[in-house]
Structure 1
C-alpha cells in the first residue's frame, strides 16, 4: 500500500533529479566503426558539462543519442531519472541548439520562438507570455518583429537559444553553437551563455572542439578520445593535472620531450638534458615524455651555447621566431637539429630578444609533467593545438 508520505517522497526525488543525465555503458557503431565505446557518465541537475575533443572522438554522436536523434546499440540513457531509450526525440525533456541555427527566414523573431509552442497547441496567451520571457532572457525582445536576415550572427544565435528555452527543457544540448561566430563575438557569447545557465539553473550539455570554450564555461569537462572519456574533471584539474599525454596535448599548449625514464621514475633523460618533476613519478616503463607549458618557461639571452646545460630543467638554443600576441610575447626556440620549444612570457616582463640570439630556457621542477610514452606527443617537437 502506497502512503501519502511515500508519494511525496517519490515526487520530491523526481523533482530533485530533474535535469540529471545518466549514461550507462552506451555504445554506438556504424558498421565496423565504433563511434562511442561503452561510455558511462553522470551529469548532475543544473550542471554545465562539456564534451571536448577532436573530430571523430564521439562527442557529437553522444549528444545526438541523448537528444534521441541516434539510438545506442547498447547501454541505457536516463534523463531526470527515467530511461528514454524508447522515447522519440520530441518526447524527451531536452532541447538542442545547433551550430546552424535553422531559423525560419519568413517568420519574425517572435514567430520563430513561438513555433514549437504553437505545434503543441499551447494557449495563445501563454505563448505570448513565454515568448516574451524567453526573448527577455537573451535580451532580444526589441527585435521581436524583425526577420532573421535582419539580424547579426550573434543575434541569430540568441534567437536560437530563446527558441530552445521557451519550451522550458530540463536539459539544453548545445552542439558547437558558437562555431559560426567570429572570435570576438564568440568570446562575448561564451560569457553570456555561462551567465544565462547560472541564472536559469538548467543543465547544459555542451559539445565543442574549442578548448577555450570548454575551459571558460564548464563546471566539468569530459575529454574524449576514440569514443571514450579520457578524463572527466573541472577546468583547473584538466589544465594543471592532465591524466594523460593526450589530454595534456589537447588542452592548452605543451612542449614535449621524449627520453628514457631516470632517477627512479622522477625524471626523463633526453638528448637535451634531464627533465625532473617534483610532482610526478613513472613506473613500469622504460621510456617516457616530459611536458612543460610555454607560460612556465623562462627565457634569457646567453653567451654560453654549450650543448648540455649542467642544471636539470634548462636547455640552450637559438631564437628562430618572435611573435607579439598582445598581452603575451611568444618565442620559438630551436634546440639542436630537430626539436623546437615554445615560450610565452607576459609582455611587460618579456625580454628584448631578436631572431638568431643564443638563449637559455629554464623552468621549475613543479611545472614538469611526466607521462609514459604516448603517440599523442610528436617526437622531438612541440604539439600544436589539435584541429577539428
Structure 2
C-alpha cells in the first residue's frame, strides 16, 4: 500500500476533553442470562493507537468490540467514543466503522458500488461519493478492480474492499473483528503488514480483536490480554512477551515449558519432580506451591554426559522427536512420565541428535519466570500428557 491518498477522520465535539479517536470503556459489564461475558472491564484506548484485544474464545473480546460498535448494549458502565457517551446510540450514528471476518460484500454490486453504499445511504452528494470511493480504493490498491464483482476477487482482495468500505466513511475509530481469520497463512501475514502500515499512515484508532497471538504481537502498539471478561494484562508486545503479569499470560502468549512443584529457596525456585528451577528473584516467598516457566528458545540441548555436574536449571531426559520449522529446529524431550520439554534452537546452531538419545537441557536463571500455582494449561501452556 503506497498510495499517497489520505483520509481524515471527522472532528467530534468532546464533552470530556478526550481527543477524537479516543475510546473509553468505563467499568462495563455485559451479561447473557446467568453468564457474564464482560465483568466490570475498564480500558482507555488513545487516539491513533493500534490496540488488540487478545484471548481465547469466550473471554469477552468480541462482546467488548460489539458494545463499542453499538451492536450490543452494556448492562452497566459507560462507553465513550471521541469524548462522547455512546450508550443507546445506534451503530450508524457512532464515529466508528467495523470490519468483520465475513466481509459481507453485496455480490450483485461492483467493487465501487460496495464501497459507495454507505455514503449513498447518508445522502452524500454524488460528486463527493465518486471522489471518496476512488480515494478509499487507492488506499488499499484496488482502484483497478472497481468494476469487478466481489465473486471475481480473491479472499485478500475482498478483505481490502471491506476495509475500503469502512474507511470511506472517515471514522475516527476502526473496529476489526478477526478480519484475517478466513485467509491462508501467507496472505494473512501479508495483510498484517499492510494493516499496520495503513493504520500508521492514516492515524486512525484501530481496535483489533483476535485469538491469534502472532497477529497481536506483530501489529499492536498495546495488547489487552483478556480472561473471563476482564483484562489480565495491558502492555506493549515486548512487555507482554518478556514480562507477563501472570502464568495465564505467559502461557497464552508464545509457548512455555512449565515446572510445577513446591516453592524452594525462600521463593526463588520451584522444586519439581525433575528439576530444581531457579529464577532471578524471590517471587514466591511465603507460598507453598508455585510454577516456573521457561520459553523453548531459551533452552540449550546437548547429548547427555555421565560426568555432567549438577548445575543450576539442568534436566536430563530422552529425545522423543525432532521437527524442522524452517529457521528453527524443535526438539521434544521426555523428562519423565508426567513432564516433557520443548526446545527450539536456530537451525544453523542446532545439534545433530537422534530420537531415543539421552539428552540434557539447561537454561539460565534469568530466563525463568516464577508464578504462584495457577491453571496455566487452560491458556495454552505446554503440559505434557503422562506416558500411557
Same fold (TM over 0.5): yes
For each residue in 1:38-71, what CA deviation from the matched residue of structure 2 results, as whole angstroms up to 9, or x when unmatched? 0000000000000000000000000000000000
Question: Which of 236, 249, 252 does residue 238 from structure 2 map onto?
Answer: 236
Aligned to 1:206: 208
Q: Which ranges of structure 1 fall in alignment gaps of 5 or more residues?
A: 1-9
Question: Contact between 2:14 and 2:20, CA under 8 Å: does it hold in 1?
Answer: no
Q: Assess, with a 3 A threshold, how the Cα gap between structure 1 residues 349 and 117 changes in structure 2: closer, same or farther.
A: same
- Aligned partners of 1:29 and 1:36 also within 8 Å: yes
Q: Does the CA-based 8 Å contact 2:15-2:84 persist in structure 1?
A: no
Measured after TM superposition, the shift of residue 82 of structure 1 is 0.5
Residue aligned with 2:120, SS: helix
Q: How many residues align?
A: 371
Larger mean Cα displacement after TM superposition, 310-319 or 64-73:
310-319
Give the conservation status (yes or no) of the 8 Å contact 1:254–1:382. yes
The CA distance in 2 between the partners of 1:366 and 1:204, in whole Å, is 35
| Equivalent in the alignment of 2:170 | 168
Q: Secondary structure at the match of 2:108?
A: coil
**What residue number does 1:270 align with?**
272
SS in 1 for 2:92: helix
1:311 Cα deviation (Å)?
1.5
Which residue in the other structure is 2:340 paired with? 340
Asked if 1 retains the 8 angstrom alpha-carbon contact of 2:142 and 2:161, the reply is yes
Which residue number corresponds to residue 286 of structure 2?
A: 284
Q: Distance in 2 between matches of 1:331 and 1:279?
A: 29
Per the alignment, residue 32 of structure 1 pairs with 34
Query: Residues of 1 paired with 2:55 and 2:306: CA distance?
Result: 42
CA deviation vs aligned residue, 1:137-178 (integer Å, no higher than 9, x gap): 000001101100010000000000000000000100000000
Residue of structure 2 in register with 1:325 after alignment: 325
Inter-CA distance 315–340: structure 2 relative to 1 (3 Å threshold): same
Match of 1:83 in 2: 85
- Look up the match of 1:312: 312
Q: CA RMSD in A?
A: 1.7
| More displaced 10-residue stretch of structure 1: 195-204 or 16-25 | 16-25
Structure 1 residues 305 and 124, CA gap change in structure 2 (3 angstroms) = farther
- Paired residues for 1:1-12 under 5 Å: none
Normalised by the length of structure 2, the TM-score is 0.93
1:375 deviates by 1.2
* 1:191 maps to 2:193: yes
Kept after mapping to 2: 8 A contact 1:249/1:383: no
Contact 1:245 1:377 in 2 (8 A): no
Q: 2:131 aligns with which of 125, 129, 147?
A: 129
Residue in 2 that maps onto 1:6:
none
Residue 377 of structure 1 corresponds to which residue in structure 2? 377
**TM-score, structure 1 as length reference:** 0.93
3-state SS in 2 of match to 1:142: helix
| Rounded Cα–Cα distance in structure 2 between residues aligned with 1:237 and 1:303 | 37
Q: Residues of 2 paired with 1:338 and 1:31: CA distance?
A: 40
Q: Write the distance in 2 (CA, Å) between the matches of 1:321 and 1:140.
A: 46
Aligned to 1:365: 365
Looking at structure 1, the residues matched to 295 and 211 of structure 2 have their Cα atoms a distance apart, in angstroms, of 20
Deviations 1:216-273 (A, max 9, x none): 0000000000000000000000000000000000000000000111111111111112
Superposed displacement of residue 304, structure 1: 2.5
Q: Which aligned segments of 4 or more residues in structure 1 are displaced greater than 3 angstroms?
A: 10-16
Shift in Å at residue 303 of structure 1?
3.7
* Structure 1 residue 15, shift from structure 2 partner: 8.8
| Cα distance, 1:337 vs structure 2 | 1.6
Distance 2:230 2:374 in 1: 17
Unaligned runs of 5+ in 2: 1-11
Q: Contact 2:52 / 2:207 at 8 angstroms: preserved in 1?
A: yes
Residue 356 (1) aligns with residue 366 (2): no
Q: CA deviation at 1:382?
A: 2.5
